Amino acid sequence: MTTDNLTSTDILKTAESLRWQIGRDFHDRLMEDIYTDAARLADRAVTRPDEKPRFDLDRTIDRIVTSRTWGFPMMILLFTIVFWITIVGANYPSQFLSSILIDKAVPFLHGIADAINLPWWISGLLIDGMYLATAWVVSVMLPPMAIFFPLFTLLEDFGYLPRVAFNLDNIFHKSGAHGKQALSMMMGFGCNAAGVVATRVIDSPRERLIAIITNNFALCNGRWPTQILIATVFIGGLVPAYLAGIISALAVVGIAMLGVVLSFVVSWSLSRTVLRGEVSTFSLELPPYRPPQVWRTVYTSLIDRTIYVLWRAIVFALPAGAAIWLIANITIGGTSVAEYLINFLNPLGILIGLNGVILLAYVVAIPANEIVIPTVLMLTVLMTGVNAGAGAGVMFNAQSNSDYMTLFTAGGWTLLTAVNLMLFSLIHNPCSTTIYTIYKETGDKKWTAVAALLPLAMGFIVTFFVAQIWRLFAG
Amino acid sequence: MNDKKNTQALTPNHTAAAAGCATCPAHNASNLLKLGVDMTDWDYVIALAGNPNTGKSTVFNALTGLRQHTGNWPGKTVTRAEGGYSYGDKRYKIVDLPGTYSLLSTSLDEEVARDFILFGQPDVTIIVVDATRLERNLNLALQVLEITDRAVVCLNLIDEARRHGITVDDRRLARDLGVPVVPTAARQGEGLDALLQAVSEVATGQTVCKPHRVKTESAAIQTAVETLVAQIQAAFPGVPNARWVALRLLDGDDRLADAIRSGELGDLRRQEPEAMQDLVIHLEPA
C-alpha cells in the first residue's frame, strides 16, 4: 500500500514537471490534433454531391428568423399566433367541462350526500371543498394546456427554440451572463425546476448562479393558465369581441417578453454587483429544421406536459380545497378564519394594487402556482357571497368569461387588479419545488434565499409602483 | 484459478466469473454502483454518447421503448437517463449520457460523460454521430475512442444525409476508426437491428475493436505521454486507458489526480470479453 502511494505521488510529480516542459498550449495542441484527424477521416468517408450552392431552405429560414431586423418581430408574431389559437380554442371546451363537472356533478353529488344522510360538514369538505377545487382546476386549466403545450412542443421540435436562444444570446452576453442562459430560460418556459437543472450546461459558477436566479422570470407551465385567463377576461374585455382574442394573446406575449427583459435587467445588475466577473464565450449550434412528427409530438406533449401539470395541480388542489373550505367555515366569534386572514392581508394587498384574497391565494399556492386562480375564485366567492345558491365557501360556477367578470367585479377588482395580478404572477417567488431544486443545485442556503426572496421583493416593488402611478393618472 | 473452477460448479457461465474474479462481465459492479447504476438484473451496461442534437435521445427511446420527450435543440439532456432492453438472451442496461461537443472541458455535463466512460467502464459505448455533420461529430467520437476501446458508432440521421445528397462510406469509416459503424435513421427505426447486433457482438467479444488513436505531431508531447504511460502502467498494471490518463494528467484534470492518489485507478483492470472468458472456463475443467 505504501509503495503504491509512493508511486502515485511519483506519477503526479512527473506529470506536474512535464506540464511545465510541454508548455501552456498543450490543451489547444491536443484539440488541434483531434480536429485534424477528424477532418481527415470525415473527408475520406464523405462524398458530397457535385452541387453548386443551391437553394438551401434551412439557411433561408434562418436568415429571416435570426435576422437583426426580423428576428424579434417574427418571434412575437409566432408566439402571438400560438396564444391566439390557445385562447380562442380553449373557450368552448372550457364551458363544456364546467357545465359537466360543476353544473351537473355538484347537485348530483349533493343529492347522493343527502340521500345517505352525510353530515353537512363532511359533504361540505368533500364536495364543496376538495371536489370543487379539483373540478375547477380541470375545467380552467385542461383546455388551454391541451392546446398550448402541443403547439409549443411543435415549435420546439421544428427547431425554432435554438433560434430564439440565438436571438437572445447577444443581449445576455451584454448583460454579463452566459449565452447558454438563453437555453436554460427556454427550458424554464416549461418548468422552472427543469430550467434550474438545465443551467448545468454553464461551466462558470458565477454565470450559473445568475442563470439560476433569473430563471424564475421565464413564465412556467403553472403560470401560463393564470395569465391566459386574466388576459382573456380583463384585457380582452376592453376591446370589441372580434379583437378580444388577438388583444388578450398580445397581452400574454407582452408579459412573457417582460419576463425576458427582467431577466436581462437582473442578470445585468447581478453581474455588476455581487456576481462580478468575466463573460465566457461558447458556440451555439443551430440544428437543422426537422419536420415535426406531429402525432408523436401531440401524444408526448399531452402525456409529458399536460397530464403531468394537470396531475400536479390536482394533487395540490385536493388538500388546498379542503384547507380553503375549512378556513372559510371555521368561525371564531362569528367571523371565519379566512376573513380574518384576508382582512389582515388586505391593507398590504390594496397598497400594491391587489387585494387580501390574492395575497392569501399566493400563500396557499406556494407549493404550486397552478392553483392560484381556483383559490382566488373560491375566496372571492366566500368574501362577496355572490353565489346565493351554493353558500359561502363554495366555488362560484363561472360558465363564461362574463361570469368571471361579474365575480371579479363583485370582489372589487379593477383593471389595475388584473394587470398587477399578471405582473405579480410573473415576478413573484418561484414555487417550493423550484426553490428546493435551487437548493440542491447550488448547495447553498444563502443563494437559495436570494433566488426566492429577490423576485418576491421585486414583485412587491413593481406592483407597488404600478399601483401608485396608475392611481395618480386614473384618479 | 481454483477459485474459478469452484464457483463454476455452482453457477454456470459468466456469473461464475463475476463471483470469482475482478475481470468478470458483471464486472466493475462496485464502480458502477458508485456512479448510481444498479447492475443487479443486467448482463451488460451500454453508454450512449454523442453531440447534442444528433438524435441521441431518439436512439435511446427507440432502443428502450421509453417515450422521453426529445426536443430539437442542443443541451436537452443534462442529467443521465437510464433504460433497458433485451437482445438475444441478454439484458442490456443503457445509460444516456449528456450530449456534449467534447470531453475535454470543465463543464459539468462533459465531466459526467467523461467520468462515466472512464470509471463506469461500460461494456459498449454507442457513439451517436450526425451523418450530415460528420467532421464535427468525429471530434467527440475520437475523444471517446481515446478512453474506451469498446465502441460502436451509430451513424444517425442517414436519411437526412441522403436527402442532402451526401453519401457516407460507412465501411471505410469503420476501417479507419477501428470500430463497427452502423448507419441508422432512428426516427424511422431504420438500422436499429443492425445496431443492436453490432453492440451485442462487441459486448460479447465477437468483434474486437482496434480503435483509432490520435497521433500528435509534437515530439515533446509524445515523449511526455510515453514517460507518463510507462509510469502509470508500472503503478497500475492492467489499466486499459493509460494513454488517456496520461493525457488528462498533462491537461491538469483534478478528478484523475484524485483517482491516482486514492488508488481508485487501480480498480480499472482490463476486462476480458465474455466470449474469451467462456473459453477459459470451458477449458479449465479438462
- pLDDT tens by residue, A214-232: 999 998 878 888 898 888 8
Helix, strand, coil % over all residues of chain B, rounded to 5? 50, 15, 35
Query: What gap in Å lies between CA A407 and CA A398, rounded to an integer?
Result: 8
pLDDT of residue B17: 37
pLDDT of residue B167: 87
Please indicate whether residue A402 or residue A137 has the higher confidence score (pLDDT): A137
Q: Could B214 and A153 be called an inter-chain contact, meaning their C-beta atoms sit closer than 8 Å? A: no
Chain B residues closer than 8 Å to A442 by CB: none
Chain B residues closer than 8 Å to A161 by CB: 71-73
Do B275 and B208 form a contact (C-beta atoms < 8 A)? no
ipTM: 0.77
Spatial CA neighbour of A80 closest among A201, A254, A283? A254
pLDDT of residue A386: 55
pLDDT digits (tens, 9 = 90+) for A9-65: 888 888 888 888 887 778 888 888 888 888 888 888 888 776 544 566 777 888 888
Q: Residue B196: which pLDDT band, with cuts at 50, 70 and 90?
A: very high
Substitution target from A6, A24, A34, A163 for chain B, most B beta carbons within 10 A: A34
Phi-psi label, residue A42: left if phi above 0, alpha if psi -120 to 50, beta otherwise: alpha
Spatial CA neighbour of A212 closest among A442, A432, A424, A446? A442
B230 touches chain A (CB under 8 A): no
Phi first, then psi, for residue B44 (nearest 5°) are: -135, 155
Phi first, then psi, for residue B93 (nearest 5°) are: -100, 130
pLDDT of residue A439: 92
If you average pLDDT over every residue of chain A, what do you get?
82
Query: What gap in Å lies between CA A365 and CA A250, rounded to an integer?
Result: 26
Q: Residue A393: which pLDDT band, with cuts at 50, 70 and 90?
A: very low
Query: Which grid coordinates belong to A219?
Result: 413564465
pLDDT of residue A328: 83
pLDDT of residue A220: 83
Over residues A414-418, mean pLDDT = 92
Chain A residues closer than 8 Å to B109 by CB: 200-201
pLDDT of residue A23: 74
- Chain A with chain B: Cβ pairs closer than 8 A: 186
Q: Residue B31: which pLDDT band, with cuts at 50, 70 and 90?
A: low
pLDDT of residue B99: 83
* Facing residue for A18 by CB, picked from B71, B187, B228: B228
Name the B residues in 147-176 with CB < 8 Å from any A CB: 160, 165-170, 172-173, 176
If you average pLDDT over every residue of chain B, what do you get?
76
> What are residue B45's DSSP bridge partners?
B93
pLDDT of residue B2: 40
pLDDT at residue A156 tops 50: yes
Please indicate whether residue A349 or residue B23 has the higher confidence score (pLDDT): A349
- Ranges A156-160, A271-275, B152-156, B278-282: which has the least confidence: B278-282
Phi first, then psi, for residue B148 (nearest 5°) are: -125, 150
The DSSP letter of residue B185 is: B
Do B185 and A313 form a contact (C-beta atoms < 8 A)? no
Q: Residue A475: which pLDDT band, with cuts at 50, 70 and 90?
A: low
pLDDT of residue B11: 34
Spatial CA neighbour of B138 closest among B192, B96, B177? B177
Do B147 and B140 form a contact (C-beta atoms < 8 A)? no
pLDDT of residue B253: 82
Q: Which residues contact A369 (CB under 8 A, 6 or more apart)?
A: A220, A222, A223, A226, A425, A431
pLDDT at residue B59 tops 80: yes
pLDDT of residue A50: 60
Query: What gap in Å lies between CA B124 and CA B273, rounded to an integer?
Result: 11
- Ranges B4-13, B119-128, B195-204: which has the least confidence: B4-13
Q: How far apart, in Å, do the first and last CA atoms of chain A sit?
A: 83
Q: What is the DSSP string of A220-287?
A: PTTTHHHHHHHIIIIIGGGS-HHHHHHHHHHHHHHHHHHHHHHHHHHHHHHHHTTT--PPP------P
Q: Could B142 and A197 be called an inter-chain contact, meaning their C-beta atoms sit closer than 8 Å? A: no
* Facing residue for B72 by CB, picked from A26, A39, A158: A158
- Residue whose C-alpha cell reads 409602483 in the numeric block: A465
Query: Which grid coordinates belong to A417?
Result: 387588479
Over residues A61-89, mean pLDDT = 84
Query: Which grid coordinates belong to A297?
Result: 409530438
pLDDT of residue A428: 92
Over residues A188-210, mean pLDDT = 82
Q: Which residues contact A208 (CB under 8 A, 6 or more apart)?
A: A178, A199, A200, A202
* Facing residue for B138 by CB, picked from A4, A27, A42: A42
Please indicate whether residue A365 or residue B144 has the higher confidence score (pLDDT): B144
Phi first, then psi, for residue B60 (nearest 5°) are: -55, -50
- Ranges A187-201, A333-347, A426-440: which has the least confidence: A187-201
pLDDT at residue B210 tops 70: yes
Q: Could A45 and B168 be called an inter-chain contact, meaning their C-beta atoms sit closer than 8 Å? A: yes
Spatial CA neighbour of B150 closest among B89, B192, B206? B206
Over residues A331-337, mean pLDDT = 84
pLDDT of residue B274: 40
- Ranges A83-97, A204-218, A426-440, B13-27: which has the least confidence: B13-27
Query: What gap in Å lies between CA A278 and CA A206, rounded to an integer?
Result: 9
Q: Could A203 and B170 be called an inter-chain contact, meaning their C-beta atoms sit closer than 8 Å? A: no
pLDDT at residue B33 tops 90: no
pLDDT at residue B222 tops 70: yes
Q: Could B69 and A153 be called an inter-chain contact, meaning their C-beta atoms sit closer than 8 Å? A: yes
Please indicate whether residue A112 or residue A145 has the higher confidence score (pLDDT): A112
Over residues A333-349, mean pLDDT = 89
Please indicate whether residue A204 or residue B268 has the higher confidence score (pLDDT): A204
